[in-house]
Amino acid sequence: MNSKSLSRGKLTIGLPVYNGEKFLHKCLDSLLEQSFENFEIIISDNASTDKTQNICQEYSEKDKRIRYIRQEKNIGLLPNFNFVLDQSNNEFFMWMGVDDYILPDYVKKNMDVLASNSNVVGSVSKIKPYNFSDSPTNQIDSKFIDFTKKLRTRFKKLDAFSISGNYDQKVRNYLTGSTCQVIYGIFRTDKLQKSIIPSLFVGLDWAEMLNVLKFGDIHVINEVLMYEFEGGRSSGGILHISKTYNPNVFSIIFPWFPFTNTCLKILGVKLFLKNLDYFIKLNFEGFVSQIIDLTRLLFQKLNK
């Protein structure tokens, strides 16, 4: 955790990136066009092999608010995200996904919420997915993706909502009524640093928000001010995601088990049991989604 004295009223925008040349111009332009100007951008380039370095250096030369750091070797996804947070010396912090972009008033409106509500520890807007094309790659993928989305909506919401109340209420409302999209909100830096979980697994960002909620409320502005690239998170299916993020074979078969186990530690036995129905449903959905993904792969091989 960063132990430096924080500069009050200023925002750090942390931008971890690896081979982001396709998105960098749009992402950085959206940050530099913000109506709120008292911020710095810390870019951590995870030893990219494309034109990321050239683009970042070009932007950092134009705007002194940009601090570009290139890692000598790829340190991994999670360490790169945590690196930009650890580098922050300001009161407020937000992560920015390189394949996402925000509208000009995103920062100002969220900073206004935090400045006027001491009980709010994080603020975010509604987030809308975007893609370069609405056309699926093939009919098999289209049918399976549509079915999987419908299945997931029965267990996990696809939108963000404000979370307040006592901690028990916040936990239930967050698990059943919001998404991990709030991770891209603006947070009080010291509280976010205290909420970090050092190991990577499916749902890590979701679990970290359960820690954040111990320090206060999360506010969601009822307006779309951020756009998230849909292909960046789940286009490979739950099988691909769990193989990438989860640590062993068991957690690949049951992709939500590491998240569930971590929640048990965060919530404690009593509060965990109050939400046991939710975790049972979530793990059932994960297992079924794996079967769907395996079936999709089988159909793809048979149709080659």
The residue assigned the tokens 């954040």 is 212
What average pLDDT does the segment 279-291 reach? Answer: 87
Instruction: Evaluate whether 42 touches 14 at the Cβ level (below 8 Å).
Output: yes
Portion of the chain with pLDDT greater than 90, in percent: 69
pLDDT computed for residue 279 by the predictor: 96
Going by pLDDT thresholds of 50, 70 and 90, the confidence category of residue 30 is very high
Give the SS3 label for residue 129.
Answer: strand
Tell me the H-state helices in the chain: 24-32, 52-62, 77-86, 106-116, 139-153, 167-177, 189-193, 204-212, 237-245, 249-253, 257-274, 276-302
Per-residue pLDDT tens digits for 124-162: 999 998 886 544 455 555 555 555 555 555 555 557 889
pLDDT, averaged across the chain:
88
Which of 27-36, 90-99, 241-250, 270-279 has the least mean pLDDT? 241-250
The residue assigned the tokens 């049991």 is 273
Residue 251: closest CA among 181, 203, 183, 294 = 203
Could you tell me which CATH number the domain at 1-99 has? 3.90.550.10
Check whether 1 has a pLDDT greater than 80: no
pLDDT computed for residue 180 by the predictor: 78
pLDDT computed for residue 2 by the predictor: 46
Within its chain, how far is the Cα of 210 from the centroid? Answer: 13
Half-sphere exposure of 77 (CA within 13 A, CB side): 11
pLDDT computed for residue 153 by the predictor: 56
Tally DSSP H helices, then E strands, for the chain.
12, 8
Which of 1-5, 32-36, 93-97, 186-190 has the least mean pLDDT? 1-5
Which of the two residues, 61 and 154, has the higher pLDDT score?
61
Portion of the chain with pLDDT greater than 70, in percent: 84
Going by pLDDT thresholds of 50, 70 and 90, the confidence category of residue 201 is very high
pLDDT computed for residue 304 by the predictor: 60
The residues, any chain, with a CB within 8 Å of residue 194's CB and separated by 6 or more, are 1, 211, 215
Within its chain, how far is the Cα of 115 from the centroid? Answer: 23
The residues, any chain, with a CB within 8 Å of residue 252's CB and separated by 6 or more, are 239, 242, 243, 246, 290
Domain limits, the chain:
1-99
Could you tell me the pTM of the whole model?
A: 0.88
pLDDT computed for residue 101 by the predictor: 97
Per-residue pLDDT tens digits for 214-267: 999 999 999 999 999 976 554 557 777 888 888 888 888 889 999 999 999 999
